[in-house]
Structure 1
Amino acid sequence: MTDQSIRFFESSAAVRHLGERLIASCLPRGEWTHEAHVAACYWLAAERPDICLSHDLPDIIRRHNDSVGTPNTDNSGFHATITHCYAMGVAAFHRRCDPALALVERVNALLTEPEGARDWPLHFYSRERLFSVEARRAVILPDLAPLPG
């Protein structure tokens, strides 16, 4: 686990606004933090059934990166395997989460769970495999443990 503090969200409206700006490709680059990635993914799973995480999220992230000048290359920008890993984890968390809780409570709870941690993919992938060009370009199988779900 990293020693960085978790940046929690203040309201459900803040989570929704973040997700909407991501989809519209108008989220400032500095706001695209680890927590924003997790929160946007959860918002999509919880409130946007018209969007399929496994199919649509990669293009949403690539478009966002393009809009803020982050190149999607073998060394930066979109990472297929990390995105897939978090999408699987967020979906699993969403299935077991109490829907009576406010969106912000669910998102902030997710950020404290293993599926929301910065190092969560490293439970399944060796660092070398996860950060390979192959893993950035396409979803690859884990080499340490199977992904849940």
Structure 2
Amino acid sequence: MSDAEHLRRFEDQSLPLEEWNHRAHLKVAYLYLQGLPFSEALERLRSGIKSYNAAHGIMDTPTGGYHETLTQVWLQLVAATLHQFGPAESADAFFEAQTQLCDKRTPLLFFSRERLMSAEAKREFVEPDLAALPGTV
């Protein structure tokens, strides 16, 4: 699927739930960062994930649904990587070259599991407790 099609299907919630995985989240982040300043990309990603979840019956629970800190961390990691290495011909090509972003455990380099999985971190962004996140600009 093309980048434009992936983004359209995310935004209109027609992307099948079984395809809404870690890589699909990252692709949306990458695509938003290609055309928007970080703050706008964050707002679009945040509202888009919440809308997608609602459309697919994904409920916010203590252990599931939207997670603010993870959303911001992944967007920051993609932005920093994009800044450092530049874009690729497609989102898939970017993530094939930047495989460190495909490991869902990467945020644990910056956060203890307890802090990252806390109710506070799910609700609002919390700063990392192990190492600083990379800067983006």
Q: Provide TM-score, normalisation by structure 1.
A: 0.80
Pick aligned residue for 1:147 from 120, 128, 133: 133
| Contact 1:90–1:116 (Cα < 8 Å) also in 2 | no
2:12 counterpart (24, 27, 31): 24
Unpaired stretches in structure 2, ≥5 consecutive residues:
none
After TM superposition, give the deviation of residue 22 of structure 1 in Å. Answer: 1.0
How many Å apart are 1:105 and its aligned residue? 1.6
- Is 1:125–2:131 an aligned residue pair? no
Percent of paired sites with the same residue: 32
CA distance in 2, matches of 1:28, 1:126: 32
Task: Quote how far apart the aligned CAs of 1:95 are.
Answer: 1.2
2:53 aligned partner: 65
> 5+ residue gaps in structure 1?
1-10
Distance 1:55 1:92 in 2: 18
Please provide the CA RMSD for this pair.
1.8
Aligned match of 1:102:
89
Q: Match of 2:118, as an amino acid?
A: S
Distance (Å, rounded) in 2 between the aligned partners of 1:44 and 1:124: 24
The Cα of 1:23 is off from its aligned counterpart by 1.4
Structure 2 equivalent of residue 49 of structure 1: 36
Give the structure 1 partner of residue 27 of structure 2.
39
Secondary structure of 1:148's aligned partner: coil
Distance in 2 (alpha carbons) for counterparts of 1:98 and 1:139: 26
More helix by share: 2
